[in-house]
Amino acid sequence: MSSSFRLGRIFSIPISIHYTWFIIFALVTLTLARGFFPNFYVWPEWLYWITGLVTSALFFSSVVAHELSHSLVSRYYGVPVRSITLFIFGGVAHIGREAAGPMREMAMALAGPLSSLAIAGLFHVVHRVALPYSEPVAALAWWLRYINVALAVFNLIPGFPLDGGRVFRALLWRVTGDFLKATGAAVAVGRGIGYLFITLGLLSILGISPVAQLFGFIGGLWFAFIGWFLENVASSSYRQTQLKEALHGVSAGELMNRDCVIVPPERTVEELVRDYVLPRGSRCAVVAQGGRLAGMLTMANLRGLPQGQWPTTLVENVVIPPAQLRVAHPGEDVLDVLERMEEEDIGQMVVVRSGEVLGVLFREHIFRYARTRTELGYRGGS
Ligand SMILES: [Zn+2]
């Protein structure tokens, strides 16, 4: 996710915040300081705000703890966790590969809700202990206990990719032995639940009883919104799973393009286009001197330079210099390369082995390969 920023590391796992989290943080603080606390307690105005902010921060930490427990269990089973991103409905742990088996997947999925329940228990104790001493501390602990139970329950909804959906998938996977089919079924349930939420939300917004009496207009908006969100993540996570399945075990060297022209840096751009790019139908040019990588030229580079300057401009003056190029090793997992490309938002990487240019790997080509493989249902090869 590019619309997020890095917060820091816990247990050496990078934690990022998606910008939507600021909306949730502000809303939670506002709801607590202007609604929840004033409804139950008589405090000075500033105390409502301070308690609201502290509660929000602790809520935020509860979500981090939930995601961290997924990540730590996953890492225990040897499935690497790249990062955790906090977004509007909590967090997402970016786990590099899918789980190694149904039972491990189930343990990873259950770790989050269980930790939320444990945190709820902890706040229950804090609430009881603080009650005679500090009303604000007791009040925030009470709310946090309730919200952590809600977090556990929401995440246990059996629609993929929520934790409950992952548990459901693990069960199906165990029974059928077919990972993709199990994912497909859990995703279908996830989307179904999404549509159910949307329907309930719309009925409530339109004032149709008895739903409207139950949730009200604002509740209806929330239901519709959460439903829309669930449907979306379910669909996109299915595409992600297909992609991961299709690219599993494929290396960068297998998918790289070996037809990129290799040009010396002292040629002019005119010569490059006339003598290398056009005759060979190549869409990229790697600049190398004595086999060593000296830069790369893409179609975008060439288009950016006015044609009048082509005969007089040297290739070495317009190349993307090696320091700015990201390179891949031929033995590297293509899935890892793709993730690096997405993180850096680049369309290609030069494949290099001990300094020698072997080819270029294009993001487009990786997707095309995965799509073809999925369409054919091909499971062989690597
Ligand atoms: Zn979770």
Q: Beta partners for 328?
A: 351
Peptide bond into 311 cis (omega under 30): no
Whether 382 is covered by a domain: the verdict is no
> Distance, CA 75 to ligand 1 centroid (Å)?
15
Same domain, 294 and 212: no
Q: Residue 95 has what pLDDT?
A: 53
Same domain, 243 and 258: no
Q: Residue 92 has what pLDDT?
A: 56
Q: What is the mean pLDDT of the chain?
A: 84
Same domain, 208 and 271: no
Same domain, 265 and 288: yes
Q: Which amino acid is located at 35 in the chain?
A: G
334 pLDDT above the threshold of 60: yes
Same domain, 272 and 218: no
Mean pLDDT of 223-248: 82
Through-space distance between the first and last CA atoms of the chain, rounded to whole angstroms: 29
> Distance, CA 108 to ligand 1 centroid (Å)?
9
> Distance, CA 313 to ligand 1 centroid (Å)?
55
145 pLDDT above the threshold of 70: yes
Catalytic pick among 45, 67, 254, 271: 67
CB 350 within 8 A of CB 325: yes
Residue with more model confidence, 380 or 314: 314
> Distance, CA 40 to ligand 1 centroid (Å)?
31
Per-residue pLDDT band for 14 (boundaries 50, 70, 90) equals confident
Domain CATH code at residue 256: 3.10.580.10
Per-residue pLDDT band for 1 (boundaries 50, 70, 90) equals very low
Mean pLDDT of 195-217: 86
pLDDT per residue over 297-326, tens digit each?
877 778 888 888 888 888 888 888 877 788
Same domain, 367 and 220: no
Same domain, 277 and 229: no
Q: Could you list the residue range(s) of the whole structural domain that residue 23 is in?
A: 4-247
344 assigned to active site: no
**How many independent structural domains does the chain possess?**
2
Same domain, 238 and 167: yes
Same domain, 339 and 208: no
Same domain, 243 and 263: no
Q: Residue 266 has what pLDDT?
A: 83
Same domain, 194 and 135: yes
> Distance, CA 68 to ligand 1 centroid (Å)?
9
pLDDT per residue over 82-123, tens digit each?
666 666 555 555 555 555 688 888 898 899 999 999 999 999
- Both tokens of residue 33? 């300081």
Same domain, 272 and 232: no
252 pLDDT above the threshold of 80: yes
282 pLDDT above the threshold of 80: no
Alpha carbon separation from 346 to 8, 278, 379 (Å, rounded):
24, 24, 29
d(CA 282, CA 124): 66
Domain closes at, from 247, 272, 297: 247
> Distance, CA 214 to ligand 1 centroid (Å)?
27
Whether 381 is covered by a domain: the verdict is no
